[in-house]
Amino acid sequence: MAGPDSLININEATGIYIHYDGVNGQNLHEHPMDPLLELVIIWVGVFIAIIAAKKTKLTPVLFFLAVGAVLLNTGILPPETSPFIAGLAEVGIVVIMFALGFEENTSNFLTSVKRSWGIALFGAIAPFVTAYAVTDYFWDDTNMAIMCGLAMTATAVSLTMVSLKDEGLSKSPAATGIMTSAVLDDVGSLALVAILVPITTGAAVLSVSGIALVVGKAIAFFALITLLGAIIFPHKSDGLLAKFPFLQKFGVRQIFIFADGEHTTLSVLTIAVGVGVLAHWFGFHPAIGAYMAGLVLKEEYFHTIDSIGENQYEKTRRVIDNVAYSWIGPVFFVVLGTKIVFDVDMFVSVIPQVAVLTIGLFVMQILSASLAARYTGNFTPEESVMIGLGMLGRAELAFVVMDIAYIENQIFTDEVFYTLMITAFWLNLAVPITIRQWKPYYMGEKTLKWFGTR
């Protein structure tokens, strides 16, 4: 158990933490490992996870997470992820989100935004209030309760979207509703983090200028993405290039068809990572930028048929999907699975808090998002429940908030930190399982009497 002389350092990109001795700064558990050997072990684990997923007919994401936890706690993987693996994991989630956006139709996304505002609003308020109330009840500390609420607000959309992808539902109305509401949710959560963290840490007071800066950055980022999609990328009559014909030689389509499209994958991945970096500059997670990049790229920008008779768009998408779901993307989930170091004494001591917080968030997140989807987004009952289930996961932003509250400012105690970490683990575990179980009802293969028929 981490005592009063220990610190836990969280990697913002991966959620990994390592115990350090507070007296001499020595890493208590670290053992060196060659990064390439670490990668081989992870890939072997990924392959085993894929086999297990096929045998059990469950989503591979669940087994990727399990593999990460087992490899860490058996000592096969070191507690401190190497910079190489941490970077690869970050690339993995960026490519996954780009692949999901690349498959999505832009007009469907924009239409879904109009239906998803309620899901984002009420689907964020409910978990914030729940986490705040539970924390305040057990530990009676307002600042701690606020930070716990922030940590449990944002949805781990990547986990949900990959789980839907594995079930063949990534293009469904529910998937689009989840993605758009989660993006709006993340924007709102980031704004709250920027506003409330300085207040809870005593570094600042609530100010109009601070709020204006956060809102302005969000508007500027999405305006820039809109500019890319509506004016810069298009090469036909509705785009900027049509007004300046000589610029058509430098349009995105010309880049994609260069050398008969042999370097299209390089081009689209450069755009994905580049927009991800842009998102990071604006204060968002790079994965959000990558998704938006995939969203604004259209099939019309590619060769219809290349010199060997292949559809260039479909070929590029197959390559991107292979990278995202087979060999780089899974590294992110394996690393994510290593986020909790098993400590029996601590686990036992926080069982009541974990039980109350997990059950409370599980119920309130599903209810709030489902009801909002049904009555503000006009989704069907089956779609509404799927959206509620898809909003359960907690990942990247949660760990950033934990780092701020536990390491940088010592707002969290050890008990609070472990409570949040274990709760996030169970919520993430619930995502692929509940989506799998609800799929027959969503597809109309089964019907609940109180839902009636489609």
CA within 13 Å, CB half, 254: 11
With beta carbons less than 8 A apart as the criterion, state whether 367 and 86 touch: no
Q: Residue 134: which of 337, 385, 406, 415 has the closest Cα? A: 415
pLDDT in tens, 126-160: 999 999 999 999 999 988 999 899 889 877 777 78
pLDDT of residue 7: 41
The C-alpha torsion from 261 through 265 and 269 to 270, rounded to 10°, is -40
Give the pLDDT mean for 94-111: 74
Q: What is the pLDDT of residues 365-408, one digit of tens each?
A: 999 999 999 998 888 999 999 999 999 988 666 777 887 787 67
**What are the chain's domains?**
95-324+352-442 (1.20.1530.20)
Let me know: does 199 contact 206? Beta carbons within 8 Å: yes
Residue 295 has a pLDDT of: 79
**pLDDT surpasses 50 at 15:** no
Any idea what DSSP says for residue 327?
I
What would the two tokens of residue 253 be?
A: 């389509």
For residue 309, give both structure tokens. Answer: 């008779």
Q: Is the pLDDT of residue 25 over 90?
A: no
Number of Cβ within a 10 Å radius of residue 40: 11
**How many C-beta neighbours within 10 Å does residue 100 have?**
26
For all residues of the chain together, what is the average pLDDT? 78
Number of Cβ within 10 Å of residue 266's Cβ equals 10
Residue-wise pLDDT tens digits, 312-328 = 788 888 888 888 888 89
pLDDT of the residue at 71: 92
User: Tokens 């995105």 sit at which residue?
Assistant: 252
